[in-house]
């Protein structure tokens, strides 16, 4: 396997992950409301993970994950209610003074928290968020939102098309025909993800995904035609909001034949955000049907992933042929 020179990426600067950014992203999904500590909404969540501080509430702080959002569910709230008012306040203050980013109270127990506890959170500027969702729902949705807000991101010049379920990034110098090739693929029933600029990120499964900038979603620019609205021309199914990035196809004007893989036995890759992606270089020449070539490249990618490699099959057949010839001699 040969690693090619990395693509030119533009790193997207991500704003610090604050409690406010989490609240804005999660308040509809988790029905969040702010009970106290509004002045502390700019606190930074240094570790984008949720944590249940059960041991901390008992006074054990040796391994307390204070950099994370703290989640108090039914068990934690039930424990606090077993304490007298003075002890409960002391345990609460001990946790707040660790400079935690904030607390999420879950379920109906969030309605029973004492006003004195909220007053202390206000005084110290520690945001207290409440949701009627159960703890399991918060731990199901919350980590996904935190990852989405903190995942590394980059942008690349290229068009991303879903070709038969394979995410293909068409990449190359300006004017070489990326958008025209993407347009031909759409006419063959494939779906556009992005044109010209593709935003890349790592999802929660460690998979590289691509999407279009929000203001350009569903649009293409073709030299001589201008802007095209893809759903209007080809139907709503011709556009998808995002896709996994499986294959990079670089369109190149190649003067050196040594740069071209004529057999397909040398699988080349490029690294994007730490993920290795298979990378093909297709030479541009007059009269070539790039739409057909890209569709075939996607089909070949599928075939290789299913364990069938045409170059390996041919190699085995040639070896068997020569061995049979040698035996006859």
Closest CA to 185 of 210, 217, 160, 211: 160
162-181 burial: b if 16+ Cβ within 10 Å, else e? bbeebbbbbbbeeebbbbbb
- For 248-258, give one letter per residue: b (16+ CB within 10 A) or e: bbbbeeeeeee
Q: Tell me, yes or no, if 196 is annotated catalytic.
A: yes
304 CB-contact burial (10 Å; exposed 0-12 / middle 13-18 / buried 19+): middle
Instruction: Select which of 51, 153, 157, 244 is catalytic.
Output: 157
d(Cα 283, Cα 290) in Å, to the nearest integer? 10
What gap in Å lies between CA 114 and CA 283, rounded to an integer?
70
Q: Of the listed 67, 122, 132, 196, which one is catalytic?
A: 196
Kindly name the residue from 205, 262, 327, 328 that is annotated as catalytic: 262
Q: How many CB atoms lie within 10 A of CB 121?
A: 21
Give DSSP secondary structure letters for 211-243. E--GGGTTEEEETTTEEEEHHHHH-GGGB-SEE
User: In the annotation, is 178 catalytic?
Assistant: yes
Q: Has 63 been annotated as catalytic?
A: no
Q: Is the dihedral of CA 123, 127, 128, 130 positive or negative?
A: positive
Catalytic option among 88, 178, 240, 279: 178
Distance from C-alpha of 295 to C-alpha of 290, rounded to nearest angstrom: 8
Q: Find the radius of gyration of the CA atoms of the chain.
A: 27
Task: Give backbone dihedrals phi and psi of 27, rounded to 5 degrees, phi first.
Answer: -65, -30
Place of tokens 């993920």: 275
Please say whether the dihedral angle defined by the alpha carbons of residues 307, 313, 315 and 320, taken in this order, is positive or negative: positive
Catalytic residue list: 157, 178, 196, 262
């Amino acid at each position: 396997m040969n690693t090619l020179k990395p693509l030119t990426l533009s790193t997207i600067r991500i704003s610090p992950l604050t409690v406010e950014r989490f609240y804005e992203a999660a308040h509809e999904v988790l029905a969040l409301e702010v009970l106290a500590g509004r002045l502390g909404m700019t606190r930074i969540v240094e570790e984008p993970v949720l944590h249940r501080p059960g041991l901390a509430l008992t006074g054990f702080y040796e391994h307390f994950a204070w950099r994370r959002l703290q989640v108090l569910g039914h068990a934690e709230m039930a424990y606090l209610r077993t304490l007298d008012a003075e002890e409960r306040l002391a345990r609460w203050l001990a946790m707040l003074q660790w400079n935690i980013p904030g607390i999420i109270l879950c379920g109906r127990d969030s309605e029973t928290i004492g006003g004195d506890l909220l007053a202390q959170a206000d005084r110290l500027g520690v945001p207290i968020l409440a949701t009627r969702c159960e703890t399991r729902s918060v731990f199901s949705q919350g980590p996904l939102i935190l990852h989405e807000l903190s995942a590394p991101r980059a942008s690349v010049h290229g068009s991303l098309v879903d070709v038969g379920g394979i995410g293909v990034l068409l990449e190359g110098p300006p004017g070489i025909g990326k958008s025209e090739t993407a347009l031909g693929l759409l006419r063959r029933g494939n779906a556009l993800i992005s044109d010209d600029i593709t935003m890349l990120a790592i999802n929660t499964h460690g998979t590289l995904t691509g999407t279009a900038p929000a203001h350009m979603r569903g649009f293409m620019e073709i030299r001589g035609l201008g802007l095209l609205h893809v759903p209007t021309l080809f139907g709503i199914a011709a556009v998808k909001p995002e896709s996994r990035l499986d294959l990079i196809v670089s369109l190149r004007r190649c003067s050196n034949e040594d740069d071209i893989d004529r057999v397909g036995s040398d699988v080349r890759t490029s690294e994007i955000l730490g993920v290795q992606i298979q990378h093909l270089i297709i030479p541009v020449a007059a009269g070539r049907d790039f739409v057909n070539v890209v569709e075939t490249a996607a089909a070949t990618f599928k075939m290789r992933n299913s364990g069938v490699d045409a170059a390996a099959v041919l190699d085995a057949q040639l070896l068997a042929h020569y061995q049979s010839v040698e035996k006859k001699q």
